[in-house]
Amino acid sequence: MAKSLLGAVVFLIGVAAPAAADEPLTIAYFERPPLYQTEAGAPSGTLVNLVVRVLRRAAIDARWEALPSNRIVALVQSGGKPICSPGWFKTPERMAFARFTLPIHRGQASVLLVRKGAAAAIAVHPSFAAASSDLRLRLGIVDRFSFGRYIDERILGKQANVTAVTGTQAQLARMVAAGRMDYMIVDPHEIAYLMREAAIEPDGLRTHTFPDLPVGPDRHVMCSAQVDASVLRRMDAAIAAIAPTDEHTERTD
Q: Report the pLDDT value the prediction gives residue 178, as an integer from 0 to 100.
A: 94
Q: Are 240 and 101 in contact (CB under 8 A)?
A: no
To which H or E segment does residue 227 belong? none
To which H or E segment does residue 205 belong? strand 205-208
Q: Report the pLDDT value the prediction gives residue 11, as an integer from 0 to 100.
A: 55
Q: Are 104 and 86 in contact (CB under 8 A)?
A: yes
Q: Report the pLDDT value the prediction gives residue 22, as an integer from 0 to 100.
A: 67
Give the span between the Cα atoms of 49 and 160, in whole angstroms.
Answer: 36
- The whole-model pTM stands at 0.70
Give the span between the Cα atoms of 40 and 250, in whole angstroms.
Answer: 28
To which H or E segment does residue 209 belong? none
Q: Report the pLDDT value the prediction gives residue 2, as an integer from 0 to 100.
A: 32
What Cα–Cα distance (Å) separates residue 27 from each residue in 45, 85, 124, 205?
Answer: 14, 5, 44, 34
DSSP state of 214: P
To which H or E segment does residue 183 belong? strand 183-186
Domains of the chain, earliest start first: 2-107+217-249 (3.40.190.10), 111-208 (3.40.190.10)
234-247 burial by CB neighbour count: b if 16+ within 10 A, else e? Answer: bbbebbeebbeebe
Q: Report the pLDDT value the prediction gives residue 249, as an integer from 0 to 100.
A: 40
Q: Are 100 and 82 in contact (CB under 8 A)?
A: no
Q: Report the pLDDT value the prediction gives residue 23, as an integer from 0 to 100.
A: 87
Q: Are 77 and 98 in contact (CB under 8 A)?
A: yes
Closest by Cα among 183, 204, 170 to 35: 170
N- to C-terminal Cα separation, the chain:
29
CB atoms within 10 A of CB 210: 18
Per-residue pLDDT of the chain (253 residues; tens, 9 = 90+): 333 333 444 555 444 443 334 689 999 999 888 889 999 889 999 999 999 999 999 999 999 999 999 999 999 999 889 999 999 999 999 999 999 999 999 888 999 999 999 999 999 999 999 999 999 999 999 998 888 889 999 998 767 899 999 888 989 999 999 999 999 999 898 898 888 888 888 788 999 999 999 888 899 999 999 999 999 999 999 999 986 544 444 323 2
Q: Are 5 and 70 in contact (CB under 8 A)?
A: no
DSSP letter for each residue of 26-65? EEEE--BTTTBEEETTEEESHHHHHHHHHHHHTT--EEEE
